[in-house]
A and B are shown apart, each in its own frame.
Chain A
Amino acid sequence: MDPIVSLENIRLTLGGFEALRDISVSFTEGRSTVIMGPSGCGKSTLLKVAAGLVPPDDGQVRFHGRDVFQMSERALLAMRRHCGFVFQDGALWENKTLFENLALPLQVHFSHLPEAERNRRVVRTLERVGMEGSAGDRPAALSGGVKKIASLLRALVTEPGLLFMDEPTLSIDHAMSEHIHRIIHDLKARGTTIIAVTHDAQLTSVLADDLVVMDAGRVIAAGPFDEVKRSRVARVRAILSEVLKDIASYDTDLLELLDTDAP
């Protein structure tokens, strides 16, 4: 299948630090890709570049073959309509209620719909996860886990075909994490293309069709999950073990855990 997003020779320096070094990688439509690597290796930056949020110093980012940073305003808006992004810290708009956080993307992309219909969609989305009672709350009044789910809902409210997620289950409790796993599982079952940065071994086992391993601003392995997982490159194996070991709280052999099919 054609790649939905492809990155060609991406270089990016942030604050004098070379965050991304000559990265070329592509993501296939309908498949889920997990990006892994040690902290600070450039995973989140790569995700933002791939989503067209951060322009690279050099190289090209293509969405369905078109250069994202050369697109017309109209084409870019159409691309945004097709994509959702879940930020690591939620990045909810603090000056808006939870309801308004979800309503704004609909107002941008579905302005042709009556306001009442858009509001119904927001309410339905909140009801799916039992959060309708918090609709009038500002993000400051929400817990970290609820913020994470709200951020995921905001990304999903426009029903995107491509979802970028940056550590969707980081720093939240087990129950919330399970909740997010279920939502993501449903998305994958519906054929949504997912590109996720995560250290969550269980989420990876559910999600990953493809795996990208990064180290020091470079992609050191990329391809189908089963192939990368069995890579004989010592650094790739070390990173996979090390990254997952830091987060996991159980004694299972982590690389074996990745072999399981469901949560």
Chain B
Amino acid sequence: MVAALGRWANSKARDYAYALGFFLLVLKEVALFLRRRQVAFHVLVLQILFTGVEALSVISLIALSIGAVIIVEGSTVLPRFGQTSLLHSILIVVITRELGPILTAFIIIARSGTAIATELGNMVVSHEVEAYLAVGINPISYLVVPRVLGVTISVMALTVYFNLFGLAGSFIVAQLIHPVPFLEYFATLMRTLQPRDILSSVLKSFVFGVITSVVATFHGFKVSASVTEIPRAAIKAVGQGFVLCFLADAVITLVYYL
């Protein structure tokens, strides 16, 4: 029993050390990305296209819906407590600081995280990664770094896009409930919006982007020999991505209110 526990602890410690080593290697290669004579730049462009541009329609729909839901709920509940004036603050807090970054990250984890883990897993099984090594291409700098940069840039840009659409969605619904002139509505929102709200949103989207991409590439590369490992890698990329984003969200929010 004790021996089994020891083996389990030893194996976990090795796994965490391996994951940490992978993360540090990725950080090093990211730092060197611009300095290197790059053949990977077009991979970065393709990743931004796939993760960022192709996700715009999904993000738009979800952001509009969330904005609409908040304004309907807020304009129904808040007047009962005489707190109608808080509606804009709630919109800013919920969309910009919380839901914008985390929902964008979730959409990207589900969409691109699974795709990256699956693609890299397939490349490992079919020896394509070894083929990159054989011709002198570092798989971390060629396959991982463009995906990490592409996903992180995309999550940050999509979060801004989510925030704008969320606030725009709330404006459209507000017109149905209590018509407000466009300029007045956005002027009030802008007065409510604090620089630290923007900072929080940017910081969260950056951290979530890094988590999403590093976790997905890590699990893609952990596939060793069999195609049956690939769906498991995709599931782990999603599960761990969600959990780590939630944890990071909690930490950043706690720091924000300290």
Contact = CB atoms under 8 A, between A and B. Distances in A.
Contacts of B127: 87-89, 91
Interface in A103-152: 104-105, 107-109, 111
A123 B122 CA distance: 29
Contacts, number: 59
Contact of B135 (A15, A94, A105): A105
A109 B137 CA distance: 10
A108 B128 contact: no
A85 interface: yes
Interface of A: 15, 48, 51, 53-54, 73, 76-77, 80-81, 83-85, 87-89, 91-94, 104-105, 107-109, 111, 154-155, 158
A80 B128 contact: no
A115 B42 CA distance: 15
Contact of B130 (A53, A80, A94): A53
16 contacts: A51-B134, A53-B133, A80-B135, A81-B136, A87-B134, A91-B126, A91-B128, A91-B130, A92-B128, A94-B128, A104-B135, A108-B135, A109-B136, A111-B37, A154-B131, A158-B135
Main secondary structure of the interface of A (DSSP, over half): mixed
**B interface: dominant SS:** loop
Contact of A15 (B130, B131, B136, B224): B224
A80 to B, nearest CB: 3
Nearest to A84: B134
Contacts of A80: 134-136
A87 B129 CA distance: 11
A58 B63 CA distance: 55
A76 B136 contact: yes
B73 to A, nearest CB: 45
A103 B240 CA distance: 37
A216 B39 CA distance: 41
Given A15-B224, A89-B126, A91-B126, A77 B136 contact: yes
Nearest to A52: B133
